[in-house]
Structure formats: structure tokens, C-alpha cells
Amino acid sequence: MECPTCDDAKLLKADRNGIEIDYCPKCRGIWLDRGELAKIIERSHTQPAKDETSEPRKHKRNLITELFDF
């Protein structure tokens, strides 16, 4: 499938936590199929944020940042 925003870019697929995400490597746009946003919202309420003190990052990572970290 081609990116709706870019004229010549093909969408790539990534499986993140059982949710298939389509994204454009050129514009970094993200597209979800029907029901996937509801799954993301549901899982973000049930999974606590990960405290990654062993990594040099300064913020906590949660499901949303893990899903969309391309």
C-alpha cells in the first residue's frame, strides 16, 4: 500500500505488542486499521509504565511510546 501523504513511498508494517501498525519511512506517518486504536488505548490503561532506570533515557516509556518508536 502506498502512503496517502507521500507520492512515492510504500507503507511498511510493524508488529508491536500484537498490533500491526502501518507506517511511512519517508514522512513517518502512522496508519491504524479499524479497532487498532481501541486496542492501544485499552492496553495503555492496563499496562503500567516501565521504569527503565538501567537505560540512559530520562523519561519513562509506556505502551504508546513503545508502539510508535520507529
In a domain, 33, yes or no: yes
In a domain, 1, yes or no: no
The structural domain count of the chain equals: 1
Q: Distance (Å, rounded) from C-alpha 68 to C-alpha 70?
A: 6
Q: What is the pLDDT of residue 70?
A: 62
- 12 has a pLDDT exceeding 90: yes
Own/partner pairs, 40-49, CB within 8 angstroms, 24+ separation: 40/64, 40/67, 43/17, 43/19
In a domain, 5, yes or no: no
Task: Give pLDDT tens digits for 19-63.
Answer: 888 999 999 899 888 998 888 888 777 766 555 455 555 556 666
Q: Distance (Å, rounded) from C-alpha 66 to C-alpha 62?
A: 6
In a domain, 18, yes or no: yes
* Cell reading at 49: 509504565
In a domain, 4, yes or no: no
Q: What is the pLDDT of residue 60?
A: 60
Write the CB contacts of 52 (distance below 8 Å, at least 6 apart in sequence). Answer: 60, 61
